[in-house]
Amino acid sequence: MKFAIQSRRDVQSNELMELAKTYLQDFGLEIDEEEPEIVLSIGGDGTLLHAFHRYSHRLDKVAFVGIHTGHLGFYADWKPSELEKLVLSIAKKEFNSVEYPLLEVQVHRNSSDSSTYLALNEATIKSPDVTLVMDVELNGKHFERFRGDGLCVSTPSGSTAYNKALGGAIIHPTLHAFQLTEMASINNRVFRTVGSSLVLPAHHNCVLKPVNDQKFNMTIDHIQIIQTDVKSISFNVANERVRFARFRPFPFWERVHDSFVSNE
């Protein structure tokens, strides 16, 4: 089996990375940064986002597993002290693969080719200087004209990240859906939005159309992109899936409890 490692690059993560390389190679695994079959992310959930985008071109051939060197994460759920146990399980191939849906984002421009992105957590749109004004279409029909700070479109697995901070719903990561959540929308006697997150199933489509010819900031997970000359942005549940190597049960709602409820 071929493996690669993504490190957060702090001292502890780098030490664990070198140790993991030694252990895995001692068990006969081959390090391959170009075409790995399993990718270890050592750091936090942000490190795994970097690993995901690094290998997003071969999602059907790679599985991810995370070791956290900080707080317990939703993607990084192994402790540094469990490294030997994890390596042994990888070497014996004692794991199952679980698949989570991703978000496909297509940016259509007026005078140039369109661009397509995949997001593991979310995509956001904000205006750097003025109020963001976007027409929101659902399944080809006008739904509302949004005015406010911005919009967040998240995957189920990303619903516990920025989406939750905005007041969006937490969605189980196995559900094939995506979520549209507002950022500080303007609601008064003149301007109105729905004011709630919208959870859309996989067969639905959401399109945002800029009302003004304005520049705005877009993020795809941790990646920031300045967008101009945009005709529309469409969002769908992607055909691709992300795969995680699961070595033991760790119920999602238990993770939610440990992350947001428990004070132990």
Report the CATH number that the domain containing residue 253 is assigned in CATH. 3.40.50.10330
Number of domains in the chain: 2
Shared domain for 59 and 174, answered yes or no, is no
* pLDDT for the residue 97: 92
What residues are paired with 39 via a beta bridge? 4, 64
Regarding whether 169 and 106 lie in a shared domain, the answer is: yes
CATH number of the CATH domain containing 216: 2.60.200.30
147 is an annotated ligand-binding site residue = yes
How high is the pLDDT of residue 42?
Answer: 97
Q: Are residues 132 and 160 in the same domain?
A: yes
Q: Are residues 88 and 143 in the same domain?
A: no
The reply to whether 184 sits in an annotated binding site is: yes
Residues 227 and 166 in one domain: yes
Cβ atoms 225, 218 nearer than 8 A: yes
pLDDT at position 264: 66
* 223 and 251 co-located in one domain: no
Beta carbons within 8 Å of 40's beta carbon, 6+ residues apart: 3, 4, 5, 6, 17, 20, 65, 66, 67
By annotation, the residues acting in catalysis are 45
Which residues of the chain fall below pLDDT 70?
264
Question: Does the annotation list 45 as a binding residue?
Answer: yes
The answer to whether the annotation marks 217 as part of a ligand binding site is no
DSSP the chain: -EEEEEE--SHHHHHHHHHHHHHHHHTT-EE-SSS-SEEEEEE-HHHHHHHHHHTGGGTTT-EEEEEESSS--SSEEE-GGGHHHHHHHHHTT--EEEEEEEEEEEEEESSS--EEEEESSEEEEE-SSS-EEEEEEETTEEEEEEEEEEEEEE-STTTTTHHHHTTPPP--TTS-EEEEEEEEE--SSS-----S-EEEETT--EEEEESS---EEEEETTEEEEE-SEEEEEEEEEEEEEEEEE-S---HHHHHIIIII---
Q: Which residues contact 105 (CB under 8 A, 6 or more apart)?
A: 116, 117, 118, 119, 123, 153, 220, 233, 234, 235
Task: Looking at the structure, tell me whether residues 107 and 225 fall in a common domain.
Answer: yes
Same domain, 9 and 127: no
**Nearest alpha-carbon partner for 156 in 112, 120, 129:** 120
The pTM assigned to this predicted structure is: 0.95
Tell me if 18 is assigned to a ligand binding site: no
Query: 252, 229, 34: which is closest to 160 by C-alpha?
Result: 252
Residues 110 and 82 reside in one and the same domain? no
Same domain as 19, residue 76:
yes
Cα dihedral 30→35→39→42 (10° resolution): 90
How much is the pLDDT for 62? 97
Give yes or no: residues 24 and 130 share one domain.
no
Residue 127 DSSP SS3: coil
149 is in an annotated binding site: yes
What whole-number distance in Å separates Cα of residue 230 and Cα of residue 161?
A: 27
Same domain for 160 and 72, yes or no, is no
Which residue range forms the structural domain that includes residue 39? 2-95+247-261
